[in-house]
Amino acid sequence: MTTTRINTTTVDIRLVYTSHAFAIYLGRISRILKRGYGFEVYTERDNWGHAYSDDGFGAAFKEKATQFGTWKITLDAFGECMPYEDNRVYLTSDVTDKWGQPVLKMDVHYRENETLMRKDAREQAILMLEKAGFSNIDGFDSQAHPGLSIHEMGTARMGTSSKNSVFNKFNQHHLVKNVFCKDGASMTSSPCQNPSLTYMALSARAADYAVRALKRGDIPR
Ligand SMILES: Cc1cc2nc3c(=O)[nH]c(=O)nc-3n(C[C@H](O)[C@H](O)[C@H](O)COP(=O)(O)OP(=O)(O)OC[C@H]3O[C@@H](n4cnc5c(N)ncnc54)[C@H](O)[C@@H]3O)c2cc1C
């Protein structure tokens, strides 16, 4: 998953203190690229918490505490990382931890599609904000690298055989039949959407399958 904060713009809107910030979501955008990206959109006012630790009460305090700065809107792009077969983790005895155990080695990098996606997301974010009439638009690319994003997954992916994956489509280990994966490790790629509901659905399906397989005697107890 690439997570790239794309765009910040400052707008000169004066609002009364009863106004609330809002968040919206722009769904999967797919243009010339493989797969797609979405935007999480956040708004905030500068100096929002300036009075947290101030003493006071009453109308004067309320008036002072609600003197905020200008509104800002931020578009965060979440793009899908393709399921590259050679993106992987494995144990290496080159380096051991303090108990002498081999540590994980991660061999993961983003490719052309992810780079193009970031570029496209930045350009589209700027365009949308310009068309919407915002000013002071500051587009940027945070140069995301594997390990810096919040929706990374897929270290023990599901697939059709032990040659291309660790688990089958029911999140059951191909070779060790009573081992099931119940988290994001079984994902093959990291979609642009939030992933946790999919993990829960996959887990429910795995549990249902495991119970049936146990009853049939297909899994050792
Ligand atoms: C700031 C943030 C916000 C997020 N917001 C959302 C959201 O709004 N919606 C959404 O759907 N998703 C969200 N996510 C993503 C979601 O939280 C993760 O995708 C999900 O937690 C991954 O679950 P997991 O069980 O696969 O892995 P993890 O929750 O990372 O669990 C891995 C576990 O393995 C343990 N572990 C690691 N190495 C070892 C080891 N060597 N030995 C023993 N144990 C080990 C860790 O301690 C950890 O408990 C967010 C993530 C972050 C960081």
Q: How far, in Å, CA of 146 to CA of 201, rounded?
A: 26
Average pLDDT over residues 158-184: 94
H/E segment holding residue 58: helix 58-65
60 pLDDT band (50/70/90 cuts)? very high
142 CB-near residues (< 8 Å, 6+ apart): 3, 4, 5
Atom of ligand 1 nearest to the CA of 104: 41
> pLDDT by residue (tens digit) across 102-126?
999 989 999 999 888 888 889 988 9
Ligand 1 centroid to 79 CA: how many Å?
A: 18
Instruction: Report whether pLDDT(8) > 70.
Output: no
12-37 confidence digits (pLDDT tens): 434 444 455 566 677 677 666 788 88
For the chain, report the end-to-end CA distance as a whole number of angstroms: 37
Instruction: Say what the pTM is.
Output: 0.79
Dihedral angle sign, alpha carbons of residues 74, 75, 80, 86: negative
If you count DSSP H runs as helices and E runs as strands, how many of each does the chain have, helices first?
A: 3, 7
Q: What is the pLDDT of residue 46?
A: 85
| Distance of CA 158 from the midpoint of ligand 1 (Å) | 18
**CA 66 centroid distance within chain:** 33
Supply the residue whose CA is at minimum distance from atom 21 of ligand 1: 196
Mean pLDDT over each residue of the chain, to the nearest integer? 84
